[in-house]
Amino acid sequence: MYQFNFQPVFDSLDLLAYGAWLTVKLSLMAMVLGFGVSVLGAVGKTSGIKPLRWLIDIYVEVIRNTPFLIQIFFIYFGLPAVGLSMSPNSAALLALVINVGAYGTEIIRSGIESIPKGQIEAGRALGLNPVQIFRYVVIRPALRNIYPSLTSQFIYLMLTSSVVSVISANDLASAGADLNARTFASFEIYLTLTVIYFLLALAFSTAFGMIRRVFFSYPASR
């Protein structure tokens, strides 16, 4: 029977808490920036400008069909060869934004394409200008339609961020690995990490639910 000893974990709770905070910060920034990339990507893809569409297609296909681990290695170890050197944490953020941007582009594109042509024509008939049409008639209902897939992608992003410790970025997983290297209480540490990641995912999920109620709960016929 394995004897649990959580003392090493309790002794270093501040280390883990700091790691968790960095994971939250990293994920939040990646979500916000990644959302921006996704909207731009989706708009570009549905714009009808062919070369732009091809470029975005290449980006989406390359990122969605390669492992995140390879992408982050490439950004951290490969880019310095062309003179682009950045800190592990910046490289981690960039890799996460590029990764979630590709998935988000596809998700939001499907949302935009779910808007019936007639709805846009109705907007035009009401005398809305193109910016207003995009804002109220296209993107808002589009986001509402794909909101669950987008937010689960964001939560997946937060869990994926545990990989960034391979380039020595500081996050919850790397705090756990450092603690493990010092105390060898692997089972206790990874059990604690599991609980923290689970609680973080739950918190994000709750927050997304609240955002949904605020922004997307207007009356709709469907």
Partner 1 sequence: MTLNRRLFTTLAASALAFGLVAPAIAAELEDIESAGTVKIGMLVDFPPFGIQDSAGKPDGYDADVAKALADYLGVDAQIVPVTGPNRIPYLLSGQVDVLVASLGVTEERAQKVDFSDPYAGISIAVYGDASVEVTDAAGLSGQAIAVTRASTQDSGVTGVAPEGTEIRRFDDDATAVQALMSGQVKLIGASNIVMSQIGAATGDRFDKKFDLSSQVQGIAVSPGSDALLDKVNAFVEQAKTDGMLDGIHEKWLGEPLPDFVKTAQ
Give me the phi and psi of 11, to 5 degrees please. Answer: -65, -25
Residue whose tokens read 């690995």 = 177
Interface with partner 1 (CB under 8 A), residue from 28, 69, 178, 212: 178
Q: Cβ closer to partner 1: 89 or 110?
A: 89
- Upper half-sphere CA count for residue 150 (Cβ side, 13 Å): 28
Interface with partner 1 (CB under 8 A), residue from 36, 80, 130, 209: 80
**How many of the other CB atoms lie within 10 Å of CB of 158?**
23
**How many of the other CB atoms lie within 10 Å of CB of 94?**
19
Interface with partner 1 (CB under 8 A), residue from 165, 171, 193, 204: 165
Using CB under 8 A, which of the segments 16-24, 173-181, 196-204, 207-215 binds partner 1?
173-181
Cα 179 → chain centroid: 27
Using CB under 8 A, which of the segments 3-11, 61-69, 73-81, 152-160 binds partner 1?
73-81
- Whole-number Å distance between alpha carbons of 133 and 63: 31
77 binds partner 1 (CB under 8 A): yes
196 binds partner 1 (CB under 8 A): no
Interface with partner 1 (CB under 8 A), residue from 1, 81, 210, 214: 81
Q: Cβ closer to partner 1: 76 or 154?
A: 76
152 binds partner 1 (CB under 8 A): no
Q: Please state the closest distance from residue 171 (CB atom) to partner 1, in A.
A: 12
Number of residues that bind partner 1 (CB under 8 A): 17
- Whole-number Å distance between alpha carbons of 116 and 93: 36
- Upper half-sphere CA count for residue 70 (Cβ side, 13 Å): 6
- Upper half-sphere CA count for residue 215 (Cβ side, 13 Å): 16
Q: Please state the closest distance from residue 76 (CB atom) to partner 1, in A.
A: 7
Task: Please state whether 100 falls in left (phi above 0), alpha (psi between -120 and 50) or beta.
Answer: alpha
- Contacting positions for partner 1 (CB under 8 A): 76-78, 80-81, 85, 88, 165-168, 174, 177-178, 180-182
